[in-house]
Structure 1
Amino acid sequence: MKALCIAVGLLLGANAFAQEAPSPNATINLIRLMVKKGLITQSEADGLIKQADDEAAQARASAASQPAAVATTTDGAQPGDVRVTYVPQSVRNEIRDQVKQEVIAQAKDEHWAEPNALPGWLDRISWYGDVHVRDESWLYSRNNANDFIDYGTLNRTGPYDINSITSGVYPPILNSTQNRTNMLRLQAHIGMDVKLGDTITAGVRIGSGGDNNPVSTTQTLGGGLIKKDLWLDQAYIRWQPYKDLSLTAGRMPDPFMVTDLIYSTELNFDGIASHGELPLTDDLTSFATIGGFPIQYTGGTTGNEAPAQAFSNQKYSDNRWLSAVQFGLKWNLAQDVSFKSALAYYYFDGMRGQLSAPCAIYTGINYCSTDDTAPDYMQWGNTVFLLRDIVPDPSSPDNYAQPQFVGLSYNYHIADFTNKLDFKIGETPMEVQAEYERNLAYHARDAFDRYPDGLGIPVNNYQSSSTAGTNGPYKSGPVGWLLRGIIGNPHPMAANEWNIALGYKYLQPDAMLDGLTDQNFHLGGTNAKGFILTSDYGIADRTWVSARYYGAKQVYGPPFTIDVVQLEISTQF
């Protein structure tokens, strides 16, 4: 019954908007039906009929009063017709796609159209990583000398008693003769970046590695199929209040523009660094990086931690830091030509070892006053000397134990000039790298004149001698340089992308701290020179194969030549 009332109401209400009155028969029949059903009285029905007649008459009068010009049109439209503008199909498709994209984007952002939607905080995290599997061979020349002392291992496992009569053992010796072929090696990293706000980002990365070596995360497979180690490789917080200004604190990727001449490409820095850029013109931008990085805390039991014991009455510890600054320019010379140049100064404070006070080992003590000035990590190449001034045993002054550590003979204040030129020949990318560096703290005579009575004299970096049991002249130097050309995409990340690179590297023994250099070239360290030939080829998206050859030999000293050959497959995600 209620439906009938509603129908009548709609018919009557429509009169106000219709151009012609509705059918009177339909209205009257509905009203009579409502009277018959007892919904309304006859008097009410008469009132409704009169109202319908009045509104119909009013509608006809309004239509008759319209101007003649609009009564008819050129397109044949009649009064009361509804006009609809035609919308082309292409426009309708465009509107549909735009609305669809906006709805999908909103659904994704708000998670209201996703089943089992993830928490919003996961949107702030991005993951990345890489895996490298390598076949590697170390090939030693048959002409190499076979008596190179491994001073880095001597410090890690020492002290070593240099009196062979009392010790009865040889010092650790570098392998310089026995080849290592077809070693299967692995390198892997996985990390995440977390967006904590508009200006704050945190990063954490773990990596493979057989030990806590600072310059490589490569690990040799095998070893009885034991599980492999993971290490905290990076962990930092970055504040970027402006697009061209950032401040990073923690363990971070190398913040400087470099090649692999003085720093390993896998080296990370502990400390604080700030980087900023300033556009000078549309094509020229200046940049600067400054930072402070702790290298070693002295005064502790091992040298790599905060002081835990007091070996003397010294009030202040002699902590070792790297203070670094780099200024550079980026210049877009043409559409496909750019040039980057940077001048840096790396000031390693207090890396030089110190001779101990007279040390009476024979009394039973197991340390001397400057043991912690030995470097925490060494490879080989730097000039070193014996740290301890050991007092002879009164009961046996001609034959007594002399356990020793070694320290660096020089400080390292490195001036470095790096240049990179990128351009194209046709559609083929090209890059030229050139770098020169010098240790400004190197003065050869300092290693011999520091202490009286022959103490503190270098024990390595002597030339070969024709007389058995004697050394030739001492030879070292403060200079290093690199020149490299790259044809093709330097970082192939798609199928069929490729590159070939040829370079030459030269590092004198005390040009740089040997513990921070690339472990592939001459298997690490300084006092090395030679060619580097590499090639990469993309076999799929984010997957490529590589072939590398490092042919290096000593700059000074007895012959020591190492060829390193690597065949590798890599993927990055």
Structure 2
Amino acid sequence: MAVALMLGGNAFAQDAAPSPNATINLIHLMVKKGLITQSEADGLLSQANAEAAQAQAAAAQPAAVPTIADGAKPGDVRVTYVPQSVRNEIRDQVKQEVIAQAKNEHWAEPNALPDWLDRITWYGDVHVRDESWLYSRKNADDFINYAQLNQTGPYDINSITSGQLPPILNSTENRPNMLRLQAHIGMHVKLGDTITTGVALASGDDDNPVSTTQTLGGGLEKKDIWLNEAWIRWQPNSNFSLTAGRMPDPFMVTDLIFAPELNFDGVAAHGDLPFSDNLKAFATLSEVPIQYTSNNAPTDSYSTAKYSAGDNWLSAAQFGLQWRFANDATWKVALAYYFFDHMQGQLSAPCYLATTGQNYCSTDDTAPDYMQWGNTVFLLRDIIPSTSSPDNYAQPQFVGLSYNYHVADLTNKIDFKIGETPMEIQAEYERNMAYSTRDAFDRYPDGLGVPVNNYQGSTSTTGEATTGPYKSGPVGWLLRGIIGNPHPMAANEWNIALGYKYLQPDATLDGLTDQNFHLGGTNAKGFIFSADYGIADRTWVSARYYGAKQVYGPPFTLDIVQFEISTKF
């Protein structure tokens, strides 16, 4: 209305005050500059006024709501269609915002890590344990530690010339509440479609092959780290693999003849032969070096007197079947033969230690590199008496194994469920096929090579092998039942296990058996109880009891109790 009154007069002033409308001001400026006449300007202003009035009238009317015949009913919700271009724009905007936040908070940086890291898988575990060794006060107190004798020997068995006792095992004094741990860390690297390699480190008190347990304390000194695995695996397809180096146990076993932590050096081939979805055969072949003769042994001899190559190997083969005979039930059975080559010690040639001043004999290298307790042993050196003192002379000795070990082993594992609860039954039987009592007593003339241990409460070596006090045997077996998840990896998962183990003295190599049962070795029998309970993801607590005593010989009963917390990643 103000614009109409201003423009309605007959005489329009050239110098009218500026209007708030930019278009009117522009028309006034064009008249002032002589670009158009006043009458032309009046016409333009009249037209602009008319269009403005029409726009105001249209704005005053309510907008008509279009009727859409889409079948919608009262209460239905319509979703506005978003064009693809708009969706792409939203996606790109969100992506940029997420990437910016990730960079600011340092939880993702694209292209910051090399692609080879994607081929590496890390893993590890930590176990902290309170452990007690509880000895019976009825145990004998004079068990010779033959493993220690070999490690620190030779030991002079003539008490008159040596003036000291041989190394003796503790068999009566308890060792309660020792704080111990195990730690492992390793990686697997995928080098291609068919090649994988692995390296792992582990804790351990020493370099023994059967345990990575480390006892804490010791003046708070730093703990040792050992190379526990280092292997390369070629796997051209899913049914065959070939592994070389230091590797985990490639065989299907329990803890009867091999310790759970025992790793194998050498080469192993494994193959699967599927017959159907529920049945397959498998086989494992392996060659394992047990010990080598040192190149320079004896170190203080001329080259012509060095020991010949006497390398000892384990050649092993295992064949088995896996049969899923129900939806939640599987039976695995495997027959294995472990051929330990040349583990039996050899009596030396007559050894003139007193007259030559030498400190070695010809077969010292046939003493085992590592042993624990239980196997039958004999004195390796045939020492010639001193001419100056034929009735009283030094007799420094090592011990060797009286038998070879060719072990046949049958292992069974049945996994099934009762309701939703997993169950497992383990049964294993093994026998040393090279065992012969006659060989232990009749190998050498004049009473040489006769066993020095495993006598039934006596050190006498007289009498026939079948009726005398010597006691040994080639048989071992284990039976165990497990209820619950065998490996709890989540909160509230659990298991309980009860088993019985029996190992005669020469059923297998004592150096490779589980250290938790009777502190390792053979010539032991007894119960094993364990329970695990998951307290968080990948974290669980355990309680274990090993109650064992000797199969033959003087009494030696030992109970081991463990309480442990473990975590795995």
Q: Shift of residue 274 of structure 1? A: 0.5
How far apart, in 1, do the equivalents of 2:424 and 2:347 lie?
47
Q: Is 1:323 aligned to 2:319, yes or no?
A: no
How far apart, in 2, do the equivalents of 1:497 and 1:440 lie?
42
Q: Shift of residue 298 of structure 1? A: 2.1
Q: Which residue of 1 aligns with 2:39?
A: none
- Tell me if structure 2 keeps the 8 A contact 1:552–1:561: yes
How far apart, in 2, do the equivalents of 1:525 and 1:212 lie?
17
Question: Structure 2 length normalisation: TM-score?
Answer: 0.80
Trace 1:161-180 onto structure 2 (pairs within 5 A): 161-180=156-175
In structure 2, relative to structure 1, the CA distance for the partners of 1:463 and 1:338 (3 Å cut) is same
- Tell me if structure 2 keeps the 8 A contact 1:548–1:566: yes
How far apart, in 2, do the equivalents of 1:166 and 1:325 lie?
49
Q: Shift of residue 282 of structure 1? A: 2.1
Letter in 2 for 1:546: S
Trace 1:42-441 onto structure 2 (pairs within 5 A): 114-115=109-110, 117-298=112-293, 300=295, 317-362=309-354, 363-441=356-434
Letter in 2 for 1:274: A
How far apart, in 2, do the equivalents of 1:194 and 1:425 lie?
39
How far apart, in 2, do the equivalents of 1:243 and 1:497 lie?
31
- Tell me if structure 1 keeps the 8 A contact 2:293–2:307: no
SS in structure 1 at match of 2:147: helix
- Tell me if structure 2 keeps the 8 A contact 1:300–1:308: no
How far apart, in 1, do the equivalents of 2:360 and 2:459 lie?
38
How far apart, in 1, do the equivalents of 2:239 and 2:141 lie?
53
Q: Which residue, 532, 537, 548 being the options, matches 1:552?
A: 548
Q: Shift of residue 244 of structure 1? A: 1.1
In structure 2, relative to structure 1, the CA distance for the partners of 1:88 and 1:457 (3 Å cut) is farther
Q: Deviations over 1:36-85 (max 9, x none)?
A: xxxxxxxxxxxxxxxxxxxxxxxxxxxxxxxxxxxxxx99xxxxxxxxx9
Q: Shift of residue 87 of structure 1? A: 8.8
How far apart, in 2, do the equivalents of 1:230 and 1:310 lie?
37
Q: Which residue, 452, 473, 497 being the options, matches 2:493?
A: 497
How far apart, in 2, do the equivalents of 1:201 and 1:318 lie?
33
Q: Is 1:515 aligned to 2:511, yes or no?
A: yes
**Unaligned ranges ≥5, structure 1:** 1-73, 76-84, 108-112
- Tell me if structure 2 keeps the 8 A contact 1:190–1:205: yes
Q: What fraction of aligned residue pairs are identical, expressed as a percent? A: 78
- Tell me if structure 2 keeps the 8 A contact 1:300–1:372: no
Q: Deviations over 1:361-404 (max 9, x none)?
A: 11210100000000000100000000000011101111100000
**Unaligned ranges ≥5, structure 2:** 1-68, 71-79, 103-107
How far apart, in 2, do the equivalents of 1:334 and 1:87 lie?
53
SS in structure 1 at match of 2:561: strand
In structure 2, relative to structure 1, the CA distance for the partners of 1:211 and 1:301 (3 Å cut) is farther
How far apart, in 1, do the equivalents of 2:483 and 2:530 lie?
11
Q: Shift of residue 487 of structure 1? A: 0.3
How far apart, in 2, do the equivalents of 1:426 and 1:551 lie?
32
In structure 2, relative to structure 1, the CA distance for the partners of 1:353 and 1:157 (3 Å cut) is same
How far apart, in 1, do the equivalents of 2:543 and 2:390 lie?
58
Q: Shift of residue 210 of structure 1? A: 1.1
How far apart, in 1, do the equivalents of 2:459 and 2:264 lie?
44
How far apart, in 2, do the equivalents of 1:333 and 1:260 lie?
26
How far apart, in 2, do the equivalents of 1:325 and 1:521 lie?
26
How far apart, in 2, do the equivalents of 1:504 and 1:392 lie?
48
How far apart, in 2, do the equivalents of 1:279 and 1:242 lie?
13
Q: Shift of residue 217 of structure 1? A: 0.5
Aligned length: 479
Q: Which residue of 1 aligns with 2:535?
A: 539
Q: Is 1:570 aligned to 2:563, yes or no?
A: no
How far apart, in 2, do the equivalents of 1:532 and 1:309 lie?
49
Q: Shift of residue 123 of structure 1? A: 1.1
Q: Shift of residue 281 of structure 1? A: 1.9
How far apart, in 1, do the equivalents of 2:505 and 2:113 lie?
56
How far apart, in 2, do the equivalents of 1:302 and 1:532 lie?
43
SS in structure 1 at match of 2:359: coil
SS in structure 1 at match of 2:417: strand
- Tell me if structure 1 keeps the 8 A contact 2:297–2:307: no
Q: Which residue, 459, 463, 477 being the options, matches 1:481?
A: 477
